[in-house]
Amino acid sequence: MESKELPEDVLALIRQYSKPVFVHFREYNQALGLFHLSLYYKEKLKKKIEDPAVREQIKICVEAEADYHRKNATYQATKTSIHENAKDKSHWWAHVSRDKFVALLDEREYRMQGFAEWYFQEDIDDAWMDSDDEYDDEELLAAQEYYANHDSESDSD
């Protein structure tokens, strides 16, 4: 039995049209799954997905988000202060990695927020409220002391 193969010029055309048009579809879909991107950012991502830095940041975001979900599940099961601190740091890292991803899409310089700055952001924002507002200094000092004690415990581990 004779094997009939297509002519080489036809095979070349078929191969050319068989190549994927959107090479980095997996990374693009991962980004869409992680972030609730507006149409504006979806278009930016389509254009910037070719950049290795953007693809690497998507990978970092995926890992950070998965780590946060694991640590949050552990904390929810145990409710210990050690697991709470690990969950908080993991949440911070997921937040920082998402912010850096958006900065890459916007082509702007990124300033990473430190953990303490991120952790106490609401307290920092509330510091501008009037003194008659809901927070008092004792609560803020207790929260700062809590963080200082738990941070020094994790450093000794």
Task: Give the list of residues 6+ apart from residue 98 with CB closer than 8 angstroms, or none.
Answer: 34, 35, 61
Tell me the average pLDDT of the chain.
Answer: 84
Task: Estimate the crossing angle of helix 81-106 against helix 52-78, to 10 degrees.
Answer: 160
Domain ranges of the chain: 21-111, 120-157
Q: Quick check: 1 pLDDT over 50?
A: no
Dihedral (Cα; 14, 16, 20, 21), 10-degree rounding? -120
Q: What is the pLDDT of residues 35-52, one digit of tens each?
A: 888 899 999 999 999 999
Q: What is the pLDDT of residues 58-89, one digit of tens each?
A: 999 999 999 999 999 999 999 999 999 999 99
pTM over 0.75: no
How far is it, in rounded angstroms, from Cα 17 to Cα 13?
6
How far is it, in rounded angstroms, from Cα 5 to Cα 59?
42
Q: State the pLDDT confidence band at 120, using cuts at 50, 70 and 90.
A: confident
Higher pLDDT, 157 or 3: 3
CB atoms near residue 23 (< 10 Å): 11
Q: State the pLDDT confidence band at 125, using cuts at 50, 70 and 90.
A: confident
| Sequential DSSP letters for 71-88 | HHHHHHHH--HHHHHHHH
pLDDT at position 78, please? 95
Query: Phi/psi class of residue 57: alpha, beta or left (left: φ > 0; alpha: ψ in -120 to 50)?
Result: alpha
Q: Quick check: 3 pLDDT over 60?
A: no
C-alpha dist (Å) from residue 65 to 32, 37, 44, 96, 121: 13, 16, 22, 11, 20
Q: Quick check: 147 pLDDT over 50?
A: yes
Task: Estimate the crossing angle of helix 25-34 against helix 52-78, to 10 degrees.
Answer: 40
